Amino acid sequence: MRPITLASGQFGDLSLEELCKLARKMGYEGLELATHAHFDVHRACSEDGYVEQVKETLSEYGLSSYAISAHLAGQCVGDRYDPRLDNFAPARLAGQPKAIRDWAVDEMKITAKAAKKLGVDVVTGFMGSPIWAFWYSFPQTTPEMVEAGYQEIYDLWTPIFDVFEELGIKFALEVHPTEIAFDYYSTERLLQTFNRRPVLGLNYDPSHLVWQGVNELIFLRDFSDRIYHVHMKDVKLIKDEKAGVLGSHIEFGDTRRGWNFVSAGHGDVDFDGIIRELNQMDYQGPLSVEWEDSGMEREIGAAEACDYVKKMNFSPSKTAFDAALKKD
């Protein structure tokens, strides 16, 4: 069966050992280790014994790691700078767009090397986007501007992917607003931009598709050959004619919003259909719970989400339901 893991980024206030103890208590089988919180890629590459220490801590609590996440550094590679990126990069680089980008490119290359040392072959993350601010097309966005944005991402990420490819590590982009690929057609275009290079795949997170109105099952089916990792995260659409999908600048968790991320099983994502699609494509990787529900106590919610995903993690039938009706 597919292992049930927990994305560690939302638990960055806990030490690795504290999180391992909690994850084990909640029933998880592994952790998707966030590089900004629980797995230091620089120590992994330069400090003797660090990786072994991480593995021993995981093992002590019966946990494994199948992927590491580098969402924050990856965002800094492709984004147009604004002060929010200062929160994702080292404090010494605050306010320095070129320095932040240079740091991020090097950080992603080091992340691939650290993943190799840890023994995982998938890094999940973001790529950023130099054209996300143009999404509404007013003032008018020209086709040339869009093409230049995809080309910039290609130029920035190709040297990173060269390192990933050399080491046998795959990068799984989480399709997400603010990314160069944020829905079906932008994902299709990104893969075409990189000539469907095998190193680039997807961290499938249905919650970011459903609120946009993208069918999460069609997306999964059509990009089945690029599903390198799966996030089990839910989103609840709120039927309130005052609230639109753009969020109204209202913080997550506020019930006035048109939608909110919620614990798995509390929203509108078709997890039953997702498992059936994953079975059909023979996906055997982890189901990683990325727990983001501002309206529910964290430990209760993450434990409940683990139980829910375990119930949903069924295998396909080995026989047709009507096989017994056939006669020779």
Kindly report, residue by residue over 131-140, the tens digit of the pLDDT.
Answer: 999 999 999 9
Average pLDDT over residues 50-71: 98
Give the rounded percent of residues in the chain with a pLDDT score beyond 90: 95
What confidence score (pLDDT) does residue 323 get?
73
Distance CA 185, CA 181 (A): 8
Cα–Cα distance, 141 to 207 (Å, whole number): 27
Q: What is the pLDDT of residue 328?
A: 63
Spell out the residues 6+ positions from residue 171 whose beta carbon is closer than 8 angstroms to its own.
122, 123, 125, 160, 161, 164, 199, 200, 201, 228
Q: For residue 44, is pLDDT > 80?
A: yes
Cβ pair 186, 192 in contact under 8 A: no
Please count the CA atoms within 13 angstroms of the CA of 58 that sit on its side-chain side: 22
Average pLDDT over residues 97-110: 98
DSSP 164-186: HHHHT-EEEEE--TTSS--SHHH
Position 24 pLDDT exceeds 80: yes
- pLDDT tens figures, 232-256: 999 999 988 899 999 999 999 999 9
Q: Domain coordinates of the chain in residue numbers?
A: 4-234+269-316
Cis check for the bond before 286: say yes or no (omega within 30 of 0): no
Tell me the per-residue pLDDT of 263-293, one tens digit each, with 9 for 90 and over. 999 999 999 999 999 999 999 999 999 999 9
Annotate 299-314 with DSSP letters as a single string. Answer: HHHHHHHHHHHHHH-P
β strands within the chain, DSSP E: 4-7, 30-34, 68-69, 122-125, 170-174, 200-204, 227-232, 234-237, 259-262, 287-289
Read off the tokens for 140.
């008018």
> Among candidates 218, 217, 187, which has minimal Cα distance to 202?
187
**Whole-number mean pLDDT of the chain?**
96
Instruction: Classify domain 4-234+269-316 at the CATH class level.
Output: alpha beta
Could you tell me which residues are beta bridge partners of residue 174? 203
Q: Is 219 helix (H, G, I), strand (E, B) or coil?
A: helix
